[in-house]
Structure 1
Amino acid sequence: MNKIETFGKWVGHWFTLLVVIWAVVNYLLPQISTWVIPNTSYLLGIILFGMGLTLKGEDFAHIVKKPIPVILGTVAHYVIMPLVAWVLCLIFHLNGATAAGVILVGSCPSGTSSSVMAYLAGGDVALDVSIETLSTLLAPIALPGLLLLYAGRYVTIPTQSLFLSTIQIVLVPIILGVVIHSIFGKKIDVITRVLPLVSQTAILLIIGAVVSANHAGLFTAATAMVIPVVMLHNLSGYGLGFLFSKLIRLKDPQRKAITFEVGMQDSSLGATLAMKYFSPAAAIPSTIFSIWHNISGSILSSYWRGKAAKTADKKAADKSTKSIAAAEEQ
């Protein structure tokens, strides 16, 4: 078990690079992941079941005890990201399945990797997890509604089917995980230790499936504009999320948490729903988002971590200088 856990940590450390490598492999050899294409919803269910297994009573208690930042962060996520996606589709003249795919990933709940980025950046992880939990629980209502509002002009939105599928794919696995955790408690600690590896493997398989399904049209003139759109979408989410958290006067750790929660999406959910209800082309924005937001999130968390370390060193140096000066005066 220790070896598996150690391997999981290694995968987590190099996950962004592994995502890029696996995407390239599936682009060159699409046949290796064709078997995954009809099974993406099950893989996503495994990821969210794992999320449910890790949730504790205090995670929900945090929402109740300090609801305002959690609610505001969740509202910011569901207002900023879909609206930015829609505006980018207008600016870049995206149409059809491609536009629907951009709006779909923008309408998804917060990404599961945001809590890792918040932790690495010195953010408020409890707030991050709370927003992630609430946004995910609201997904069956928020996602079909936002798609109908913003993407209805591009494709037909099967709102009822999306609602039911999101409940089946998102809520049922999470609730099942929470129930099992509540019943067995610490007895499942052995399982939760390997969950990061299981989730990362499932994400890689989903990415492989989407790349495999789209390999012929992944880098064409019709989809070339998706890459800059996805990058701008993610970076705008970070910027507007940070600005929003400053406007409501949150502390620095909370600002970091909300920045990641607004800017990072559950792109695996977006890819799964796109493949099921729209077309493989609609899953391309989610796939690119999955790769890019891991890269940008790692860079941003490293920047904040380095900035915090410099501030701590400066304070320590100032304290040392004052101590020396005080000693000399005596």
Structure 2
Amino acid sequence: MPVSQKTFGMPQHTMTKLIQRFLLIWLSLLSLAAYFWPRFGVAFDPFIHKQLLPYLIIVTMFGVGWMLPIDEIKKVASRWPTILGGTLTQFLVMPTLALGFGMLFGFQKETMVGIILVGCVPGAMASNVLTIVSRGNASYSVSLTTLATILSPIAVPAMLAATAIFVDPATVEVLDSASDDSGSIYLRSAINLLMWVVIPVLLGFAMGRILPQFESQAKTIGSNVANLAILLIIATVVGLSRDKLADLPIALFTCLLLINVLGYAGGFTGGSLMKLPHPMKRALTLEVGMQNAGLGATLASALFTHSDSTVAVAPAFYTFFCMFTGTILAWYWSSRQVEQEASDKGSPV
């Protein structure tokens, strides 16, 4: 008789449903706890230890690698034109929107750098879950996330360097201030992304192949750990930035929301131009608009140690917006029929 796998005293599938279905609620509650923690009169503050952020990212990415089926790697190879096209759409649309709206709203220095980071990081893992909810093409979504993640040590520094050409001198000075004896901001970001993202994903993938008998448990536990890690990352950024959040300007709120919504529009338009089936367009839409802002916040905290967490504020808040709007969009699409010819079986790729 099979033994029920449990996590924290409850069946794993039950915990997974509780986390994923109410992820936005957990995100809100934990962030509120991080913000109001000093008022509770507790001496120990669990939300101000930013040295833990890279390790949370590493654990998350290791879990992602372990959960990655080998079939997805094969699909990346066989569908490379549409996957590469979708990834290029993301790396073109989001940095352009971030730079454009950041300049339009007149942001400078640390805030502008944070907005640029929002546009430059790869897509979020939550987009894969919401693609399933939206009746989109889940394998295409996972393939997009995989390729963008693997390319991030090259793509993110390149996009940061490209956007730096257009920003004001004060913002360039903030970017340059992240350089130290170990290298420029671009080299440091590449090394960090390689250590935090690519290597853990590859190690997790290798572990999954070495221990295939634990595939089912790894998928469930890995998903739970990844989601919990993202919640803790955002809560920690909120805790570190709580003194500034009370004065969060409405302009920043509006700017991030516009980047998010128009990111969805850019993804859908890109899918239409590539003549993708509708389920794949849904996947690309969510992938482009939902950036891995948790990674952006962690990268900001590691690179800009002098800026008292200001750079990490925009990526942290973008997580709220993309989770909220992405969930609404996925629910809307889930209630609408998808054309039969656009299914995976009939897909031209």
**Which residue identity does 1:286 align to in structure 2?**
P
1:251 matched residue in structure 2: 277
Structure 1 residue 160 displacement after superposition: 1.0
Give 1:213's match in structure 2, choosing from 219, 240, 257: 240
| Rg comparison, structure with higher value | 1
1:160-309 correspondence runs (5 A): 160-220=187-247, 223-278=249-304, 279=307, 280-308=309-337
User: Who is 2:120 aligned against?
Assistant: 107
> Pick from 8, 11, 22: which aligns with 2:19?
11
1:156 pairs, out of 175, 178, 186, with 175
* Counterpart for residue 325 of structure 1: none
Which range moves more in the overlay, 150-159 or 110-119?
150-159
Name the CA distance, whole Å, in 1 between partners of 2:213 and 2:245: 45
What SS does the aligned partner of 1:29 have? helix
1:204 Cα shift?
1.3
179-188 or 268-277, larger mean C-alpha shift: 179-188
Paired with 2:142 and 2:213, the residues of 1 have a C-alpha distance of 20
Conserved? CA contact 1:121–1:304, under 8 Å: yes
* Aligned-partner Cα distance in 2 for 1:7–1:235: 31
Partner letter of residue 176 of structure 1? L
* CA offset digits 1:192-212 (Å, max 9, x no partner): 222222112111111111011
Tell me if the contact between 1:100 and 1:151 (Cα under 8 Å) persists in the aligned partners. no
In the alignment, which residue of structure 2 is the partner of 1:316? Answer: none
Instruction: Output one character per residue of 1:114-139: Cα deviation in whole Å (capped at 9) or x when no partner.
Output: 01111111111111100100000000
Amino acid at match of 1:85: A
Question: Larger helix proportion, structure 1 or 2?
Answer: 1
| 5+ long unaligned stretches in structure 1 | 313-330
The residue number in structure 2 matching 1:318 is: none
Give me the whole-angstrom Cα distance separating, in 2, the residues matched to 1:213 and 1:224: 20
Gap runs ≥5 in structure 2 = 39-43, 177-184, 341-349
Aligned residues between the structures: 310
Aligned-CA RMSD value: 1.6
TM, length-normalised to structure 1: 0.90
Q: Percent identity?
A: 27
Report deviation, 1:32.
2.9
Q: Give the Cα–Cα distance (whole angstroms) in 2 for the partners of residues 104 and 191 of structure 1.
A: 31
Cα distance in 2, alignment partners of residues 146 and 264 from structure 1: 17
